[in-house]
């Protein structure tokens, strides 16, 4: 679950964003939202995978200042990618496979704040459209202090 300090930081930084429609506000309260740069298309491909895996629409917020979103969610700079999400209270950075998100949620692994796939590796969910190129990539688990370790390896 998101901690109080992170939520306060997020709310403070969100004051300049447009209001979310009511369903998106409800989803955010439950920790189920994705923020993306309005010009990025691969994020929407990733969102389709999450929606299929979790069986519900993922509210998408176009956020022109993604650096502020990442900072508010506590994503370590060295793990940044193109979009940031909250999935059942877990911070998800970039093209993390939905199966890994589900595995983390099911394990209730203590101390893990989120999962990240740094960069935009070819073949990761959302980055596998229109080509057959696959590259090996790692999903990193990170804690509130920014420490991280390998959670899964794909490719």
Beta-strand pair 137-142/114-117: antiparallel
Q: Answer with the residue of higher pLDDT: 109 or 11.
A: 109
CA distance 10 to 15: 9
| pLDDT above 70 (res 123) | yes
CB neighbour class for 4 (10 Å; exposed up to 12, middle 13-18, buried from 19): exposed
CA distance 119 to 81: 5
| CA-derived radius of gyration, the chain | 14
Q: Answer with the residue of higher pLDDT: 108 or 62.
A: 62
CB neighbour class for 28 (10 Å; exposed up to 12, middle 13-18, buried from 19): middle
Q: What is the mean pLDDT of the chain?
A: 84
pTM confidence score:
0.80
The 10s digit of each residue's pLDDT in 16-66 is 343 344 444 444 445 799 999 998 888 999 999 999 999 999 999 999 999
């Amino acid at each position: 679950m998101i901690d109080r300090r992170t939520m306060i930081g997020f709310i403070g930084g969100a004051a300049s964003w447009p209001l979310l429609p009511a369903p998106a506000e409800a989803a955010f309260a439950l920790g189920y939202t994705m923020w993306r740069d309005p010009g990025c298309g691969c994020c929407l491909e990733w969102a389709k995978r999450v929606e299929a895996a979790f069986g519900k629409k993922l509210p998408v917020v176009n956020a022109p200042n993604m650096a502020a979103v990442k900072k508010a969610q506590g994503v370590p700079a060295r793990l940044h990618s193109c979009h940031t999400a909250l999935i059942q209270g877990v911070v998800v950075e970039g093209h993390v496979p939905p199966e890994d998100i589900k595995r983390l949620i099911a394990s209730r692994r203590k101390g893990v704040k989120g999962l990240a796939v740094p960069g935009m590796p070819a073949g990761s969910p959302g980055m596998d459209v229109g080509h057959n190129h696959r590259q090996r990539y790692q999903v990193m688990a990170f804690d509130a202090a920014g420490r991280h370790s390998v959670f899964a390896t794909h490719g």
